[in-house]
Structure 1
Amino acid sequence: MADYSLADPTPAGLTSAMGRFHRAGSAIWRGHIREGSAKMAGKPSIQPMSDDRDSGTPLAKRVALYSLLVNLFLLGLNLAMAAFSGSLALMAETAHNLADLAASATVWIGLTLSQRKSHSFPYGLYKVENVAAIIVGLFIFLTAYEIAREALFGASREVVMHPAILAGVGIAALVPWLFSRYELRIARAVNSPSLMADAKEFQAHVLSSGVVFASLLGQWIGWPLDWPAALLIVLWIVHAGWETLISGMRVLLDASLDAETLQRVRRIIERQPAVVEVRSLVGRNAGRYRFLEAEIGVRAQGLDKAHQVSHAIESEICSEIPFVERVLIHMEPVSREAVRIAVPLTDQTGTVSRHFGLAPYFALTNRHVETGRALEQLIVVNPFADHPKGRGLEVAHWLLEQRVDVVVTPDDIRDKGPGHALSDAGVTVIVRDVRTLAEATRELPALGETGGVVGVSYPNTARA
């Protein structure tokens, strides 16, 4: 687990608060809900998974409450300094704090509401977090407007300087810097967009407080930097507000997940031996959670096999991709013009081997589905024939990589590891007591319309 402690020194007034932040951070428990559904021949099947998605929500709400308290502290500090000094930059920073206080309250409310479900909102209110992030962005723009208006059109005023004011501004910069680092780490850990937006706003405080400090220092030595500093603060917070607003709007408009995440999901699906093709893959965010939908072509035979393939895909996606709320898999049998048949051989002349794993060669024959005519035939070396252990299972996995649809062998492997591996991937295992390749591929079971061979196994004769 990541270390969320704040090793940097803190002001005395925040020591106890930072201790609470550390204890909260070390208590992170990451989790997410996993649900899935499979659709085979137009009949969907729902598979519920463990419901641990809310594990990060109490921590996120607690951090949002800490944010509210920190903003209250900063508001009081800056308000007192602005009243004492008369600085426009400090008044602008106070307005900034007031907007942030309202935004922090919005974040806390958004986190509280986002986990609730009802008959009207059966999928939850996860996007409330994104709405909260957008409101934060709008508050940032409002702050920028108020600062710019006062700097450009407000009356000039005398700034009263004192060393205590500079010290107070330094504290007002240090506190949000420390808290933003902590909040951003927690936000990434629990994948909360509203906390991320709030952390970025605290980062804006660091720069704006630094600008205020520089302007006050300039005023002290006779340089009129108060209103230019206020305008510089405007540029920074407009940039932060724009990023926050765009991020929230993308989710509300159901923009796609990033290409890198979708590519990772595609690779996970394609790893499944029963999957022939990924026809479509889309994903979106809702709050901190991800929703995925894929349409795939499979060669699994029967609803039970399709259910196994779907469950395997969902489990791997949810274990490798964080914060997945739901995986919806639409499974359809594949329509192909040809199937690939594998036969173990003792030599390259077509003599059939009676041992599946020990066979030095395999014949791979592509046969047309409708006519049964052989389209192409290859004889390849078995790369696992000399392996001392587990060669049968290795050969089965290797044949799956060769996209084999049917295995014909005198060796009855149907109730052994290799047979289970092949049948689980939708490969038909046919046991035949034959001596030549021609006999092995003669009068195979009828080929289905989708290109799969009808039946899970087809014992033509007993094994000798």
Structure 2
Amino acid sequence: MAIFLAMVLSSAQNGTIGTFQTYKALLKAMLSHIKHSDEKQRWLLASTLLNTTLAITKITWGLVMESTLVTADGIHSISDVFSALLILLALYFSAHRSERFPYGLHKLEDMAALLGGLGILFAGYEIIHSVFFEQGIRTPESIWSTIGFIAAILLIQTVFYYAELKAARRLNSPGVRADAINWLGDIGAGLVVIFGLVAHHYAIPYAQEAAVMIIILMIFQGAFDVFKEALLSLLDAADMAIEKKVRDLVIAEPGVTQIKRLTVRKSGSVYFANIELSIAETSIIEAHKQIDNIVDKLHKEIEELESVTIHYEPDHPPYQTIVELLAADKKTLSNRFGATPWLHVIKKHPDGSLISNLLIENTSKDAPKGKAFLLAAWLISRHTDTVIMGQADLDENIVALFKSLGMTLKQVATDPVYQ
């Protein structure tokens, strides 16, 4: 971006058409990419092209007509062009994923922002140095034609602002809306230029100097915002506003009982969310459906959210559940899993004190087939922590399932049961 800004200033001063050729090549590349894109991207492209055209026009007019105010206004517009270009670059590079770059190349946007911010700051410094330490304010000989020129640009900007804002509401797009609001800064800067020129015409002291300082402050503010956002993104700083919005949406979902960990990482102009939560649902199929609903809801409510990763655990009660598999005598540990006649269910507080002690019949034992898996499902649904039984050859799939869920399986010799 700094190189682009230097090319604009250099070619305007030299009266060459080099910048026009570069600009034409840039337009061709951008058009070829967004030709078949959605309406949101087309609005952003239209905004970028219009703002770039107006910025180059203002800088050229300012240099040719020798108007420091108009030149400063054009450089301020370049900062807005830069912001729009960053959004378009993010849209372009987001699709370029590979095995080495699975998250895309969004960070390139932040790196470009730092370089572009330096270019904008340097341009602002050059204006200050020129106005206050060298040749001073340059005033156009034809003030009223310059005022008419700026007024025409203001009219174009205002019409486009209302059109883009209307489209943003219709498309429900925060990105397009933010881009539309950015036009207010350019419109305000244009009004400052007109005020400065009119005040100078009526011999109000330091009117142009004050107007230039206002625009320079706007330039520095824009550069500061670009620097801050890029640096925070490169350092993976948390965006507290987006994180709060994600948290509020997730915790409002029925069945979510706790958010154990939530991080939202910004990369370019998009966000990546990583969430660890507990849900009340014990059915794996239903739990996955609920997680899918949460992901869809987050993408719908937060357009900038590029990816959501959710790790979940079934909600665990605040006590320990031990289940002993007993033989027909209701005392001896059974060496059969699915066909065990009795289940001794013991619930204890974390300190070991007894909550309940219940002996129930195993209804799975009478199933024609799949006894073991039916009992395993029952144990999981009861949030069982420990299963105790006699020595037996248990299906390795059930052993692996218990292990993955953090359940402890103890196979012991025929020992006395817990009382």
TM-score, structure 1 as length reference: 0.54
Match in the other structure for 1:279: 260
2:181 maps to 1:203: no
Match in the other structure for 2:288: 310
Match among 61, 72, 76 for residue 80 of structure 1: 61
Which residue identity is paired with 2:145?
A
Match among 297, 318, 326 for residue 319 of structure 1: 297
Note the 1:25-174 alignment, pairs <5 A.
59-60=40-41, 63-77=44-58, 79-80=60-61, 83-84=64-65, 86-97=66-77, 108-156=88-136, 157=138, 159-174=140-155
Count how many residue pairs are aligned between Structure 1 and Structure 2.
Answer: 315
Match among 227, 231, 237 for residue 249 of structure 1: 231
2:238 maps to 1:260: no
SS at match of 1:213: helix
SS at match of 1:118: coil
Conserved 8 A contact 1:60-1:192:
no
> Which consecutive unaligned segments of at least 5 residues does structure 2 have?
1-35, 322-344, 364-376, 390-401, 410-419
SS at match of 1:215: helix
Conserved 8 A contact 1:291-1:327:
yes
Which residue identity is paired with 1:214?
F
The Cα shift of 1:76 comes to 1.9
Conserved 8 A contact 2:62-2:68:
no
Note the 1:232-243 alignment, pairs <5 A.
232-243=214-225
Which residue identity is paired with 2:229?
S
Conserved 8 A contact 1:290-1:325:
yes
Identity of aligned residues (%): 19
- Distance in 1, Cα, partners of 2:58 & 2:84: 17
SS at match of 1:115: coil
Distance 1:139 1:291, change over 3 A: same
Conserved 8 A contact 1:306-1:331:
no
Tell me: higher relative CO, structure 1 or 2? Use CA pairs within 8 A at least 6 residues apart.
1
Conserved 8 A contact 1:339-1:369:
yes
- Distance in 1, Cα, partners of 2:68 & 2:229: 31
SS at match of 2:91: helix
The Cα shift of 1:226 comes to 1.7
Note the 1:291-306 alignment, pairs <5 A.
291-297=272-278, 305-306=283-284
- Distance in 1, Cα, partners of 2:258 & 2:88: 44
Conserved 8 A contact 2:76-2:218:
no
- Distance in 1, Cα, partners of 2:85 & 2:281: 52
- Distance in 2, Cα, partners of 1:111 & 1:326: 14
- Distance in 2, Cα, partners of 1:223 & 1:144: 24
- Distance in 2, Cα, partners of 1:116 & 1:75: 31
The Cα shift of 1:213 comes to 0.4
Conserved 8 A contact 1:292-1:327:
yes
The Cα shift of 1:117 comes to 1.8
Distance 1:234 1:79, change over 3 A: same
- Distance in 1, Cα, partners of 2:164 & 2:123: 22
The Cα shift of 1:263 comes to 2.3
- Distance in 1, Cα, partners of 2:261 & 2:355: 31
- Distance in 1, Cα, partners of 2:223 & 2:161: 16
Distance 1:57 1:142, change over 3 A: farther
- Cα-to-partner distance string for 1:259-303 (whole Å, 9 max, x where unaligned): 42132144146x32xx554321222233444322222346766xx
Distance 1:95 1:368, change over 3 A: closer
- Distance in 1, Cα, partners of 2:116 & 2:302: 25
The Cα shift of 1:328 comes to 2.1
- Distance in 1, Cα, partners of 2:139 & 2:161: 33
The Cα shift of 1:330 comes to 2.6
SS at match of 1:256: coil
- Distance in 2, Cα, partners of 1:134 & 1:176: 27
- Distance in 1, Cα, partners of 2:195 & 2:141: 15
Conserved 8 A contact 1:127-1:287:
yes
- Distance in 2, Cα, partners of 1:176 & 1:136: 23
The structure with the greater share of residues assigned to helix is 2
The Cα shift of 1:134 comes to 4.6
Conserved 8 A contact 2:95-2:104:
yes
Distance 1:453 1:373, change over 3 A: farther
SS at match of 2:192: helix
SS at match of 2:71: helix
The Cα shift of 1:256 comes to 2.0
Distance 1:94 1:332, change over 3 A: closer
